[in-house]
Structure 1
Amino acid sequence: MSTTDTTSGERAASHRRRLSWQSGSWTTSPAAFKLVGDALEVTAVEGSDAWRVTSYGFVHDDAHALIAPLETDQAVEVTFEAAFEQQFDQAGVFLRVDDEVWVKAGVEYVDGELQLGAVVTHHYSDWSSGPVPEWQGKTLTVRVSRSGDAVTIRARAEDGPYRLVRVAWLDPEARVDAGPFLCAPSRAGLTVRFLSWTVSDADAALH
Protein backbone atom coordinates (compact mmCIF):
# COMPACT_ATOMS: atom_id res chain seq x y z
CA MET A 1 0.00 0.00 0.00
CA SER A 2 2.84 2.38 0.82
CA THR A 3 5.09 1.45 -2.10
CA THR A 4 6.27 4.53 -4.01
CA ASP A 5 6.96 4.55 -7.76
CA THR A 6 8.37 7.73 -9.23
CA THR A 7 8.35 6.64 -12.88
CA SER A 8 5.49 4.23 -13.56
CA GLY A 9 2.52 6.08 -14.95
CA GLU A 10 4.79 8.68 -16.54
CA ARG A 11 6.53 6.44 -19.07
CA ALA A 12 3.53 6.49 -21.42
CA ALA A 13 2.97 10.25 -21.32
CA SER A 14 3.91 10.74 -24.97
CA HIS A 15 1.10 8.39 -26.01
CA ARG A 16 -1.51 9.93 -23.72
CA ARG A 17 -4.88 10.84 -25.22
CA ARG A 18 -7.35 13.06 -23.42
CA LEU A 19 -10.96 11.89 -23.59
CA SER A 20 -13.84 14.32 -23.82
CA TRP A 21 -16.49 14.04 -21.15
CA GLN A 22 -19.00 13.35 -23.92
CA SER A 23 -17.15 10.18 -24.94
CA GLY A 24 -18.45 8.20 -21.96
CA SER A 25 -21.85 7.04 -20.73
CA TRP A 26 -23.14 6.98 -17.15
CA THR A 27 -23.72 3.67 -15.41
CA THR A 28 -26.18 5.53 -13.16
CA SER A 29 -27.06 9.18 -13.71
CA PRO A 30 -25.80 11.56 -11.00
CA ALA A 31 -27.91 14.20 -9.31
CA ALA A 32 -26.33 16.86 -11.52
CA PHE A 33 -23.33 17.50 -13.74
CA LYS A 34 -22.02 20.46 -15.70
CA LEU A 35 -18.98 21.56 -17.66
CA VAL A 36 -16.91 24.33 -16.06
CA GLY A 37 -14.25 25.19 -18.59
CA ASP A 38 -12.43 21.94 -19.32
CA ALA A 39 -13.55 20.36 -16.04
CA LEU A 40 -16.65 18.32 -15.24
CA GLU A 41 -18.42 19.00 -11.94
CA VAL A 42 -20.59 16.11 -10.77
CA THR A 43 -22.93 15.88 -7.78
CA ALA A 44 -23.75 12.45 -6.40
CA VAL A 45 -27.15 11.13 -5.40
CA GLU A 46 -27.49 10.45 -1.69
CA GLY A 47 -27.09 6.72 -1.01
CA SER A 48 -25.17 5.94 -4.20
CA ASP A 49 -22.62 3.15 -3.79
CA ALA A 50 -21.01 0.04 -5.31
CA TRP A 51 -20.63 -3.15 -3.26
CA ARG A 52 -21.57 -6.83 -3.48
CA VAL A 53 -22.51 -8.97 -0.47
CA THR A 54 -19.27 -9.48 1.53
CA SER A 55 -19.63 -8.71 5.25
CA TYR A 56 -22.50 -6.24 4.78
CA GLY A 57 -24.88 -8.65 3.04
CA PHE A 58 -26.27 -6.11 0.57
CA VAL A 59 -25.78 -5.35 -3.12
CA HIS A 60 -25.42 -1.72 -4.24
CA ASP A 61 -24.92 -1.04 -7.94
CA ASP A 62 -25.70 2.64 -8.42
CA ALA A 63 -22.31 4.31 -8.38
CA HIS A 64 -22.01 7.22 -10.82
CA ALA A 65 -19.34 6.04 -13.27
CA LEU A 66 -18.69 7.74 -16.61
CA ILE A 67 -17.15 4.93 -18.66
CA ALA A 68 -15.79 4.17 -22.12
CA PRO A 69 -13.98 1.09 -23.52
CA LEU A 70 -10.54 0.26 -22.12
CA GLU A 71 -8.48 -2.23 -24.09
CA THR A 72 -5.82 -4.60 -22.81
CA ASP A 73 -2.43 -2.84 -22.72
CA GLN A 74 -4.06 0.51 -22.00
CA ALA A 75 -4.18 2.64 -18.87
CA VAL A 76 -6.87 5.04 -17.73
CA GLU A 77 -6.04 8.06 -15.58
CA VAL A 78 -8.40 10.49 -13.85
CA THR A 79 -7.51 13.70 -11.99
CA PHE A 80 -9.99 15.29 -9.60
CA GLU A 81 -10.58 17.35 -6.47
CA ALA A 82 -13.37 17.57 -3.90
CA ALA A 83 -14.18 18.37 -0.28
CA PHE A 84 -14.40 14.85 1.11
CA GLU A 85 -15.90 15.32 4.56
CA GLN A 86 -18.77 12.90 5.18
CA GLN A 87 -18.66 9.16 5.87
CA PHE A 88 -17.86 7.13 2.71
CA ASP A 89 -17.59 10.12 0.32
CA GLN A 90 -15.52 8.66 -2.52
CA ALA A 91 -14.20 9.19 -6.06
CA GLY A 92 -11.64 7.81 -8.46
CA VAL A 93 -11.58 5.32 -11.34
CA PHE A 94 -14.14 2.60 -12.05
CA LEU A 95 -13.52 -0.47 -14.27
CA ARG A 96 -16.62 -2.44 -15.21
CA VAL A 97 -17.04 -5.81 -16.92
CA ASP A 98 -20.63 -6.38 -15.74
CA ASP A 99 -22.69 -5.94 -12.58
CA GLU A 100 -20.81 -8.75 -10.80
CA VAL A 101 -17.26 -8.08 -12.01
CA TRP A 102 -15.77 -4.62 -11.49
CA VAL A 103 -13.07 -2.59 -9.74
CA LYS A 104 -13.27 0.82 -8.11
CA ALA A 105 -10.11 2.59 -7.02
CA GLY A 106 -9.53 5.95 -5.41
CA VAL A 107 -10.02 7.83 -2.18
CA GLU A 108 -12.77 7.47 0.40
CA TYR A 109 -13.51 9.39 3.60
CA VAL A 110 -13.85 6.84 6.39
CA ASP A 111 -14.21 7.45 10.13
CA GLY A 112 -12.93 11.02 9.91
CA GLU A 113 -9.93 10.38 7.67
CA LEU A 114 -9.21 10.16 3.96
CA GLN A 115 -8.28 6.65 2.81
CA LEU A 116 -6.62 5.45 -0.41
CA GLY A 117 -7.70 2.03 -1.63
CA ALA A 118 -9.65 -0.22 -3.93
CA VAL A 119 -12.65 -2.52 -4.05
CA VAL A 120 -12.18 -5.54 -6.33
CA THR A 121 -15.31 -7.53 -7.12
CA HIS A 122 -15.59 -10.96 -8.68
CA HIS A 123 -19.19 -11.76 -7.66
CA TYR A 124 -18.16 -10.81 -4.08
CA SER A 125 -16.44 -7.56 -3.11
CA ASP A 126 -13.24 -7.12 -1.14
CA TRP A 127 -11.80 -3.86 0.15
CA SER A 128 -8.26 -2.70 0.87
CA SER A 129 -7.35 0.78 2.12
CA GLY A 130 -4.82 2.84 4.00
CA PRO A 131 -4.89 6.37 5.46
CA VAL A 132 -3.69 9.39 3.47
CA PRO A 133 -4.78 12.34 5.63
CA GLU A 134 -2.07 14.49 4.03
CA TRP A 135 -3.93 14.21 0.71
CA GLN A 136 -7.00 16.03 2.01
CA GLY A 137 -7.76 19.15 -0.04
CA LYS A 138 -5.25 18.33 -2.78
CA THR A 139 -5.64 17.54 -6.47
CA LEU A 140 -5.56 13.75 -6.81
CA THR A 141 -4.81 11.41 -9.71
CA VAL A 142 -5.72 7.73 -9.94
CA ARG A 143 -4.18 5.57 -12.66
CA VAL A 144 -5.30 2.03 -13.52
CA SER A 145 -3.14 0.11 -15.98
CA ARG A 146 -4.45 -3.02 -17.72
CA SER A 147 -1.84 -5.51 -18.94
CA GLY A 148 -2.36 -9.22 -19.54
CA ASP A 149 -4.38 -10.69 -16.68
CA ALA A 150 -3.63 -7.84 -14.27
CA VAL A 151 -4.81 -4.37 -13.42
CA THR A 152 -2.28 -2.23 -11.57
CA ILE A 153 -3.64 0.66 -9.52
CA ARG A 154 -1.50 3.68 -8.67
CA ALA A 155 -2.36 7.11 -7.27
CA ARG A 156 -0.72 10.38 -6.32
CA ALA A 157 -1.46 13.78 -4.81
CA GLU A 158 -0.59 16.89 -6.82
CA ASP A 159 2.69 16.22 -8.70
CA GLY A 160 4.04 13.82 -6.09
CA PRO A 161 5.23 10.29 -6.81
CA TYR A 162 2.76 7.56 -7.67
CA ARG A 163 1.97 5.08 -4.91
CA LEU A 164 1.23 1.47 -5.74
CA VAL A 165 -2.24 0.76 -4.35
CA ARG A 166 -3.13 -2.70 -5.64
CA VAL A 167 -2.44 -5.37 -8.25
CA ALA A 168 -5.53 -7.44 -9.04
CA TRP A 169 -6.49 -10.21 -11.44
CA LEU A 170 -8.81 -9.49 -14.36
CA ASP A 171 -9.72 -11.77 -17.24
CA PRO A 172 -7.51 -10.64 -20.16
CA GLU A 173 -10.29 -11.52 -22.60
CA ALA A 174 -12.95 -9.45 -20.81
CA ARG A 175 -14.54 -6.42 -22.42
CA VAL A 176 -13.87 -3.60 -19.96
CA ASP A 177 -15.23 -0.07 -19.72
CA ALA A 178 -13.55 2.46 -17.45
CA GLY A 179 -13.61 6.08 -16.36
CA PRO A 180 -14.19 8.49 -13.46
CA PHE A 181 -16.66 7.70 -10.69
CA LEU A 182 -18.09 9.08 -7.47
CA CYS A 183 -20.43 7.86 -4.73
CA ALA A 184 -22.03 9.38 -1.65
CA PRO A 185 -23.43 6.51 0.44
CA SER A 186 -24.33 8.59 3.49
CA ARG A 187 -25.33 12.08 2.36
CA ALA A 188 -26.53 14.44 -0.35
CA GLY A 189 -24.42 17.18 -1.87
CA LEU A 190 -21.04 15.59 -2.59
CA THR A 191 -19.65 17.40 -5.65
CA VAL A 192 -16.45 16.25 -7.34
CA ARG A 193 -14.58 18.35 -9.88
CA PHE A 194 -12.99 16.06 -12.46
CA LEU A 195 -10.14 17.88 -14.18
CA SER A 196 -9.02 15.33 -16.77
CA TRP A 197 -9.65 11.84 -18.11
CA THR A 198 -6.95 10.26 -20.25
CA VAL A 199 -6.04 6.94 -21.85
CA SER A 200 -2.45 5.92 -22.58
CA ASP A 201 -0.24 2.87 -23.04
CA ALA A 202 -0.17 0.46 -20.11
CA ASP A 203 2.74 0.80 -17.71
CA ALA A 204 5.78 -1.08 -18.96
CA ALA A 205 6.48 -2.82 -15.64
CA LEU A 206 5.14 -3.24 -12.16
CA HIS A 207 8.32 -1.90 -10.54
Structure 2
Amino acid sequence: MTDTVVQPWSAGSWTTPPAEAVEDGPDLLVTAVEGSDAWRHTSYGFVHDDAHALLAPLDAAVEVTFDAGFDQQFDQAGLMLRVDAETWLKCGVEFSDGIPQLGAVVTLGRSDWSVAPVPDWAGRRVTVRASRDGDAVTVRARVDDEPSRLVRLAPFPPGATVLAGPYCAAPTRSGLTVRFTRWATGPADTALH
Protein backbone atom coordinates (compact mmCIF):
# COMPACT_ATOMS: atom_id res chain seq x y z
CA MET A 1 0.00 0.00 0.00
CA THR A 2 1.55 3.29 -1.07
CA ASP A 3 1.27 6.34 1.21
CA THR A 4 0.91 3.95 4.13
CA VAL A 5 0.63 5.10 7.72
CA VAL A 6 1.55 2.38 10.22
CA GLN A 7 -0.78 2.55 13.19
CA PRO A 8 0.51 2.12 16.73
CA TRP A 9 -1.41 -0.50 18.70
CA SER A 10 -2.46 2.30 21.07
CA ALA A 11 -4.42 3.96 18.22
CA GLY A 12 -7.39 1.64 18.68
CA SER A 13 -9.96 0.67 21.28
CA TRP A 14 -11.20 -2.86 21.92
CA THR A 15 -14.79 -3.78 21.07
CA THR A 16 -14.47 -6.58 23.66
CA PRO A 17 -11.24 -6.80 25.63
CA PRO A 18 -9.25 -10.01 25.04
CA ALA A 19 -7.96 -12.23 27.83
CA GLU A 20 -4.59 -10.54 27.27
CA ALA A 21 -2.95 -8.12 24.83
CA VAL A 22 0.80 -7.66 25.19
CA GLU A 23 3.22 -5.75 23.02
CA ASP A 24 6.24 -7.87 22.10
CA GLY A 25 8.66 -5.46 20.45
CA PRO A 26 6.77 -4.09 17.43
CA ASP A 27 4.19 -6.93 17.53
CA LEU A 28 0.97 -7.35 19.49
CA LEU A 29 0.18 -10.74 21.04
CA VAL A 30 -3.57 -11.13 21.59
CA THR A 31 -5.03 -14.00 23.60
CA ALA A 32 -8.70 -14.59 22.86
CA VAL A 33 -11.35 -15.48 25.42
CA GLU A 34 -12.87 -18.94 24.94
CA GLY A 35 -16.25 -18.66 23.25
CA SER A 36 -15.54 -15.29 21.58
CA ASP A 37 -16.96 -14.83 18.08
CA ALA A 38 -18.76 -12.49 15.67
CA TRP A 39 -21.91 -13.76 13.93
CA ARG A 40 -25.58 -12.78 13.52
CA HIS A 41 -28.42 -15.26 13.03
CA THR A 42 -27.91 -17.00 9.67
CA SER A 43 -28.22 -20.79 9.81
CA TYR A 44 -26.94 -21.09 13.41
CA GLY A 45 -29.68 -18.96 14.96
CA PHE A 46 -27.43 -17.18 17.45
CA VAL A 47 -25.86 -13.74 17.83
CA HIS A 48 -22.26 -13.40 19.00
CA ASP A 49 -20.74 -9.94 19.25
CA ASP A 50 -17.73 -10.48 21.47
CA ALA A 51 -14.83 -11.02 19.06
CA HIS A 52 -11.75 -9.02 20.05
CA ALA A 53 -11.37 -6.16 17.56
CA LEU A 54 -8.93 -3.31 18.05
CA LEU A 55 -10.57 -0.53 16.03
CA ALA A 56 -9.88 3.04 14.96
CA PRO A 57 -11.63 5.33 12.42
CA LEU A 58 -11.22 4.25 8.79
CA ASP A 59 -11.07 6.68 5.89
CA ALA A 60 -10.25 4.48 2.91
CA ALA A 61 -8.05 1.37 3.20
CA VAL A 62 -6.61 -0.71 6.01
CA GLU A 63 -4.19 -3.65 6.20
CA VAL A 64 -3.48 -6.06 9.03
CA THR A 65 -0.67 -8.63 9.10
CA PHE A 66 -0.62 -11.61 11.45
CA ASP A 67 0.82 -15.10 11.84
CA ALA A 68 -1.67 -17.85 11.00
CA GLY A 69 -0.22 -20.22 13.58
CA PHE A 70 -3.47 -21.68 14.88
CA ASP A 71 -5.01 -25.10 14.38
CA GLN A 72 -8.20 -25.55 16.40
CA GLN A 73 -11.76 -25.52 15.04
CA PHE A 74 -12.95 -21.96 14.27
CA ASP A 75 -9.75 -20.23 15.52
CA GLN A 76 -9.70 -17.00 13.53
CA ALA A 77 -7.78 -13.78 12.99
CA GLY A 78 -7.71 -10.95 10.52
CA LEU A 79 -9.33 -7.61 9.96
CA MET A 80 -12.70 -6.17 11.03
CA LEU A 81 -14.64 -3.18 9.70
CA ARG A 82 -17.50 -2.14 11.95
CA VAL A 83 -20.31 0.42 11.83
CA ASP A 84 -22.43 -1.08 14.64
CA ALA A 85 -23.56 -4.44 16.06
CA GLU A 86 -25.59 -5.23 12.91
CA THR A 87 -23.25 -3.78 10.27
CA TRP A 88 -19.72 -5.17 10.03
CA LEU A 89 -17.30 -7.23 7.99
CA LYS A 90 -14.60 -9.61 9.20
CA CYS A 91 -12.04 -11.14 6.88
CA GLY A 92 -8.97 -13.26 7.34
CA VAL A 93 -8.06 -16.86 8.11
CA GLU A 94 -10.31 -19.23 10.05
CA PHE A 95 -9.40 -22.82 10.87
CA SER A 96 -12.34 -24.96 9.77
CA ASP A 97 -12.78 -28.57 8.67
CA GLY A 98 -9.19 -29.37 9.56
CA ILE A 99 -7.46 -26.67 7.47
CA PRO A 100 -6.99 -22.90 7.30
CA GLN A 101 -9.70 -21.18 5.25
CA LEU A 102 -9.41 -17.72 3.71
CA GLY A 103 -12.72 -15.97 3.94
CA ALA A 104 -15.00 -13.14 4.85
CA VAL A 105 -18.21 -12.65 6.80
CA VAL A 106 -20.35 -9.70 5.73
CA THR A 107 -23.09 -8.71 8.17
CA LEU A 108 -25.84 -6.35 7.14
CA GLY A 109 -28.42 -7.38 9.74
CA ARG A 110 -27.64 -11.06 9.08
CA SER A 111 -24.25 -12.70 8.52
CA ASP A 112 -23.02 -14.60 5.49
CA TRP A 113 -19.75 -16.51 5.11
CA SER A 114 -17.55 -17.22 2.11
CA VAL A 115 -14.41 -19.38 2.38
CA ALA A 116 -11.71 -20.96 0.27
CA PRO A 117 -9.24 -23.55 1.59
CA VAL A 118 -5.63 -22.35 1.94
CA PRO A 119 -3.86 -25.32 3.57
CA ASP A 120 -0.43 -24.03 2.50
CA TRP A 121 -1.00 -20.84 4.55
CA ALA A 122 -0.78 -22.73 7.88
CA GLY A 123 1.79 -21.13 10.17
CA ARG A 124 2.69 -18.41 7.68
CA ARG A 125 2.40 -14.61 7.74
CA VAL A 126 -0.87 -13.34 6.26
CA THR A 127 -1.81 -9.80 5.23
CA VAL A 128 -5.47 -8.88 4.77
CA ARG A 129 -6.48 -5.61 3.12
CA ALA A 130 -9.85 -3.90 2.91
CA SER A 131 -10.42 -0.90 0.66
CA ARG A 132 -13.62 1.11 1.00
CA ASP A 133 -15.00 3.12 -1.90
CA GLY A 134 -18.58 4.34 -2.29
CA ASP A 135 -21.02 1.54 -1.47
CA ALA A 136 -18.46 -1.29 -1.47
CA VAL A 137 -15.50 -2.84 0.30
CA THR A 138 -12.89 -4.77 -1.66
CA VAL A 139 -11.04 -7.41 0.37
CA ARG A 140 -7.70 -8.86 -0.70
CA ALA A 141 -5.22 -11.13 1.06
CA ARG A 142 -1.76 -12.56 0.56
CA VAL A 143 0.63 -14.85 2.35
CA ASP A 144 4.24 -13.80 2.93
CA ASP A 145 5.42 -11.90 -0.19
CA GLU A 146 3.16 -13.69 -2.66
CA PRO A 147 0.74 -11.66 -4.82
CA SER A 148 -2.53 -10.55 -3.28
CA ARG A 149 -5.70 -12.33 -4.29
CA LEU A 150 -9.23 -10.99 -4.41
CA VAL A 151 -11.28 -12.42 -1.53
CA ARG A 152 -14.51 -10.48 -1.76
CA LEU A 153 -16.25 -7.45 -3.22
CA ALA A 154 -19.04 -6.71 -0.74
CA PRO A 155 -21.72 -4.06 -0.31
CA PHE A 156 -21.19 -1.74 2.63
CA PRO A 157 -23.17 1.37 3.62
CA PRO A 158 -21.86 4.50 1.88
CA GLY A 159 -21.34 7.49 4.12
CA ALA A 160 -21.39 5.44 7.33
CA THR A 161 -18.71 6.07 9.95
CA VAL A 162 -16.53 2.94 9.97
CA LEU A 163 -14.00 1.70 12.50
CA ALA A 164 -11.40 -0.86 11.42
CA GLY A 165 -8.45 -2.86 12.69
CA PRO A 166 -7.15 -6.27 13.72
CA TYR A 167 -9.43 -8.87 15.27
CA CYS A 168 -9.33 -12.43 16.56
CA ALA A 169 -11.73 -14.89 18.19
CA ALA A 170 -11.73 -18.40 19.64
CA PRO A 171 -15.27 -19.81 19.50
CA THR A 172 -14.38 -23.32 20.71
CA ARG A 173 -11.32 -23.19 22.98
CA SER A 174 -9.13 -21.28 25.38
CA GLY A 175 -5.49 -20.43 24.79
CA LEU A 176 -5.57 -18.98 21.27
CA THR A 177 -2.85 -16.34 21.01
CA VAL A 178 -2.40 -14.48 17.72
CA ARG A 179 0.72 -12.49 16.81
CA PHE A 180 -0.21 -9.32 14.91
CA THR A 181 2.82 -7.75 13.24
CA ARG A 182 1.41 -4.72 11.41
CA TRP A 183 -1.62 -2.44 11.19
CA ALA A 184 -1.59 0.25 8.49
CA THR A 185 -3.96 2.65 6.74
CA GLY A 186 -3.79 4.43 3.40
CA PRO A 187 -5.71 5.53 0.32
CA ALA A 188 -8.39 3.43 -1.36
CA ASP A 189 -7.41 1.06 -4.16
CA THR A 190 -7.63 2.58 -7.62
CA ALA A 191 -8.73 -0.65 -9.35
CA LEU A 192 -10.80 -3.67 -8.49
CA HIS A 193 -8.37 -6.19 -9.99
Deviation at 1:83? 2.0
Please tell me the root mean square deviation across aligned C-alpha atoms, in Å.
Answer: 0.6
Equivalent residue, structure 2, for 1:146:
132
Q: TM-score under structure 1 normalisation?
A: 0.92
Q: 2:58 aligns with which of 70, 85, 98?
A: 70
Q: TM-score, normalised by structure 2?
A: 0.99
Report 1:29-178 matches (<5 A). Answer: 29-71=17-59, 74-178=60-164
- Structure 2 stretches lacking a partner, 5+ long: none
Q: Which letter does structure 2 place at the counterpart of 1:36? A: D
- Following superposition, the deviation at residue 171 of structure 1 comes to 1.3
Given residue 5 of structure 2, which amino acid in structure 1 is its aligned partner? R
How far the C-alpha of 1:136 sits from its partner, in A, is 0.6
Question: One-letter code of the match for 2:33?
Answer: V
Classify the secondary structure of the residue corresponding to 2:159: coil
- Mapped to 1, the partners of 2:123 and 2:113 lie a distance apart of 23
CA distance in 2, matches of 1:82, 1:162: 16
Query: Does the 8 Å CA contact 1:82/1:191 hold for their aligned counterparts?
Result: no
Query: Could you tell me how far 1:111 is from its partner in structure 2?
Result: 1.2
Measure how far apart 1:52 and its partner are.
0.2
Is the contact between residue 137 and residue 154 of structure 2 (CA under 8 Å) also seen in structure 1?
A: yes
Unmatched segments (≥5 aa) in structure 1? 1-11
Contact 1:70/1:177 (8 A) holds in 2: yes
List 4+ stretches of structure 1 deviating above 2 A: none
